[in-house]
Chains A and B, each alone.
Chain A
Amino acid sequence: MNQKPIDRQEYNITAYTENQIGLLNRIAIIFSRRKINIESLNTSPSEIEGIHRFNIVIEETEEVVRKIAGQIEKQVEVLKVYYNTNEDVIWQEMALYKVPTDVIAEKALVERLLRENGARAVVIRKDYTVFETTGHREETDNLIKVLQPYGLIEFVRSARIAIIKDSEGFNKKLREFEQREPGSEVVENEYLNNREKVFTM
């Protein structure tokens, strides 16, 4: 059962929301109700003051992700939801590694490995040193493997953040949302729009 069905893949869900207590739970239960594991979740400010941005990563089929995105967007305090494959986004994760300073200091090889992996020292103490690196999952994973033989004490990785390649940001959309009678620009629905060619006479 190791082989995953081919149509499941990682999707990056981006949600623009109001900054409201309880909304995280409202969004989280959309996944847990369907027994879908959230691989990564990040909430942060967006390019617009007062608007929050959720980055959520799940591994599912396109159909499931589309329905989930619809359910999230249906929540009253959610303005807009997008979902993209990894190819459609620029994404990064950050990782911290704590290793004993004496080992690092003694072995020239470690220094070279750290350099090769783009790691940067954040804190250097007599007893331990903390390195930081940013990149894709394989890159941060790789450094764990590299440092394991040298007494890796602690490791932590952040949630994923992602920028959508062909997005023009949310400013223009938000201005439309604030109007009482939004134009068709805002009332569009990506899913429905994409279906225009489904039926032809």
Chain B
Amino acid sequence: MSTNQPLAQPVASAAVATAALETTPTSGAVATLEALLTEGVDTIFGYPGGAIIPIYDALYDYREQLHHVLVRHEQGGIHAAQGYARSSGRVGVVFATSGPGATNLVTGLADAQIDSTPLVCITGQVFASLLGTDAFQETDIINITTPVTKWNYQVTDATEIPEVLAKAFYIARSGRPGPVLIDITKNAQIQKFDFAGYTPCQHIRSYRPKPIVRNEYVEQAAALINQAKKPFIIWGQGVMLGGAEQEFKTFVEKSGIPAAWTILGVDALPTDHPLNVGMLGMHGNYGPNVLTNECDVLIAIGMRFDDRVTGRLDKYAKQAQIIHLDIDPTEIGKNVPTAVPVWGDCKETLPLLTALVEEKQHTAWRQHFDEFRDKEVEAVIQNELFPTSEELTMGEVIQQLNELTGGDAIVVTDVGQHQMVACRYTKFNRSRSNITSGGLGTMGFSLPAAIGAKFGAPDRTVVAIIGDGGVQMTIQELGTIMQTGVNVKIIILNNQFLGMVRQWQELFNDRRYSFVDIASPDYVQVAKGYHIEGQRVSERANLRDALCTMLDQDGSYLLEVMVTKENNIFPMVPQGCSVAEIRLK
């Protein structure tokens, strides 16, 4: 009995069919590319090398159908594939060679794993006969990547390729999505076999991507919601991964329940929606954090109670009964005790729940959020977005950008202070518009992810917002922009510090600024070296024009904005404190 009987059949019957159809022997490399074409892949992010030359040789004949983007570093390649997957909702594909090529993928795999991003990475490997001999560029990439992949597999025989790639795509995109790595030895790429075509995978007997929804839980959830006086919805990226933005909006509107988001969920509901009360967590909004500890029923949808969201766990929403909708049963009850688990795809569970909940307004309860909002505007937001100080703030850059894009751009952020500011203040009208490294917090993510995002959504404006630290981690990808001519707008918010660490050192380490003072090159000159236009702005009077120039530019543009050096991000839930102890200053 094979692992995958339904899929094994075409291969088995191929031997019989060969005589009649005279299938020409196909190399493993060609079969790999045929598999990608059948899966609807149009873009590959990659970097060639010795152990993957046969696949690149085959790609030469497929270069019209499969657009290959040559990146400058494999980490850039995988982040670009993540950006592509996040903007398009499709599986991102990466090619890399063995050894260092493969190990350079590890950070991106870990990022995609924790942020549930569907990827298929194909790495070359030394000849099967050389495995375990410390051959040139041999690395045990399967064992290295096991903790950071949803699934991985080493192919040593070309006949395995169709079935393994079918499984790879199915696993990457189904259920809770994630990254898959397929390692193909060089002999398997070269080897010719009777390729009887490619059949996408629909079922793996040991894998249950989603359950049949149990109605009794939906009924219990609805009963709890209907009797709640102060219900509160918190949602995450699961809403978008399930393609359930509309179902979610309908649920929120009918139930009249205020809703707050995790950083990866922000764009599932328009920023201006009256029931969207803002961001959760360490640098989230004031009301959503404080009122988490006052609500009576907490409805969590497609989110995983990360420690940056919950703060001190033993003081998190203790008064509330928690309803948790998630496709991954191991998330339910992982960090917080759950009163009603609604295990399932929220695309299915939300409509069932909407049908059972009563139409309400919750006016008095929502008023609380407005009151907290007013306090936060006064203490933080006003000064951040409309500063009267001489120096520019990160927030006003985002505010000006919102006014110019109207909230229709894809915004790709890196990690740190600028990320918190961008996620807090960017206006989003559309789903799949916020791309950032959430769970892993990978500096250097933004520039390559923005490149990928543009390839995944060519009709949309893509703006990368990056700090002066993060941009220097993957700045080589300016070369990818130069060579492909991809149109990406790059804003560097330069505060001449590794700002988030500096903020912690200021607040919690007596201003002992230990190695956070980072120097920058002349970014405009660097961009110029890559034939990318750009300018630096440090005066408020020039900001608007500079942003307009950037957005109107026919092609990529780099805008460096010099901002206040020692601004802190507030509100803040200090580590080890409860969400109710959030500080406004």
List chain A positions with a Cβ less than 8 A from chain B: 17-18, 20-22, 25-26, 29, 33, 49-50, 67, 70-71, 74, 76-79, 174, 177-178, 180, 182, 184, 186-187, 189, 191-192, 195-196, 198-199, 201
Cβ contact within 8 Å between A22 and B152: yes
Contact of A79 among B5, B152, B206, B328 (CB under 8 A): B206
With A76-B151, A186-B208 given, name 12 new contacts (CB 8 A): A22-B154, A25-B146, A49-B1, A50-B2, A67-B334, A76-B204, A79-B206, A182-B212, A187-B212, A195-B338, A196-B216, A198-B339
Kindly state the separation between the CA atoms of A186 and B224 in the bound complex, as whole angstroms: 28
Cβ contact within 8 Å between B1 and A79: no
- In the complex where A76-B206, A79-B205, A199-B220 touch, is A191 in contact with B146 (Cβ < 8 A)? no
Instruction: Annotate B275-295 by CB proximity to A: 1 below 8 A, 0 otherwise.
Output: 000000000000000000000
- In the complex where A29-B147, A76-B204 touch, is A199 in contact with B1 (Cβ < 8 A)? no
List chain B positions with a Cβ less than 8 A from chain A: 1-3, 5-6, 142-143, 146-147, 150-154, 171, 202-208, 211-212, 214, 216-217, 220, 223-224, 227, 321, 328-330, 332-334, 338-341, 343
Residue of B nearest to A21 (CB): B154
Contact of B146 among A18, A22, A67, A184 (CB under 8 A): A22
Residue of B nearest to A33 (CB): B147
Cβ contact within 8 Å between B150 and A76: yes
Cβ contact within 8 Å between A18 and B1: no
Cβ contact within 8 Å between B223 and A201: yes
Kindly state the separation between the CA atoms of A199 and B337 in the bound complex, as whole angstroms: 12
A25: chain B residues within 8 A (beta carbon): 143, 146
A199: chain B residues within 8 A (beta carbon): 220, 224, 321, 339-340
Contact of B214 among A22, A71, A177, A192 (CB under 8 A): A192
- Distance between A64 CB and nearest chain B CB, rounded to angstroms: 11
B208: chain A residues within 8 A (beta carbon): 182, 186-187
Contact of A180 among B202, B216, B340 (CB under 8 A): B202
Kindly state the separation between the CA atoms of A18 and B151 in the bound complex, as whole angstroms: 13
Cβ contact within 8 Å between A191 and B333: yes
- Distance between A44 CB and nearest chain B CB, rounded to angstroms: 17
Cβ contact within 8 Å between A17 and B343: no
B332: chain A residues within 8 A (beta carbon): 192
Kindly state the separation between the CA atoms of A67 and B334 in the bound complex, as whole angstroms: 7
Cβ contact within 8 Å between B1 and A50: yes
Cβ contact within 8 Å between A77 and B206: yes
Kindly state the separation between the CA atoms of A191 and B212 in the bound complex, as whole angstroms: 15
Residue of B nearest to A28 (CB): B146
- Distance between B104 CB and nearest chain A CB, rounded to angstroms: 21
B339: chain A residues within 8 A (beta carbon): 198-199
Residue of A nearest to B333 (CB): A191
- Distance between A183 CB and nearest chain B CB, rounded to angstroms: 8
Residue of A nearest to B153 (CB): A22
Cβ contact within 8 Å between A18 and B3: yes
- Specify which of A25, A50, A192, A196 lies most central, judged by the most chain B CB atoms within 10 Å of its CB: A192
A79: chain B residues within 8 A (beta carbon): 205-206
B203: chain A residues within 8 A (beta carbon): 180
- Distance between A47 CB and nearest chain B CB, rounded to angstroms: 13
- Distance between B113 CB and nearest chain A CB, rounded to angstroms: 12
Kindly state the separation between the CA atoms of A21 and B152 in the bound complex, as whole angstroms: 11
Residue of A nearest to B143 (CB): A25
Pairs A-B, 3 closest by C-beta atoms: A70-B330, A177-B205, A180-B203
- Distance between A181 CB and nearest chain B CB, rounded to angstroms: 9
Kindly state the separation between the CA atoms of A195 and B223 in the bound complex, as whole angstroms: 16
Kindly state the separation between the CA atoms of A189 and B332 in the bound complex, as whole angstroms: 12
Cβ contact within 8 Å between B211 and A189: yes
Residue of A nearest to B206 (CB): A79
A177: chain B residues within 8 A (beta carbon): 205-206
- Distance between A148 CB and nearest chain B CB, rounded to angstroms: 40
Cβ contact within 8 Å between B329 and A71: no
Cβ contact within 8 Å between B146 and A189: no
Residue of B nearest to A51 (CB): B1
- Distance between A45 CB and nearest chain B CB, rounded to angstroms: 13
B142: chain A residues within 8 A (beta carbon): 22
A70: chain B residues within 8 A (beta carbon): 329-330
Contact of B211 among A20, A33, A76, A187 (CB under 8 A): A187
Residue of B nearest to A176 (CB): B205
Kindly state the separation between the CA atoms of A18 and B204 in the bound complex, as whole angstroms: 11
Cβ contact within 8 Å between A17 and B206: yes
A180: chain B residues within 8 A (beta carbon): 6, 202-203
A26: chain B residues within 8 A (beta carbon): 146
Contact of A18 among B5, B206, B328, B329 (CB under 8 A): B206
18 of the cross-chain contacts (CB-CB < 8 Å) are: A50-B2, A67-B334, A74-B328, A76-B150, A77-B206, A77-B207, A79-B206, A177-B205, A178-B205, A180-B6, A182-B212, A187-B212, A191-B333, A199-B224, A199-B321, A199-B339, A201-B223, A201-B227
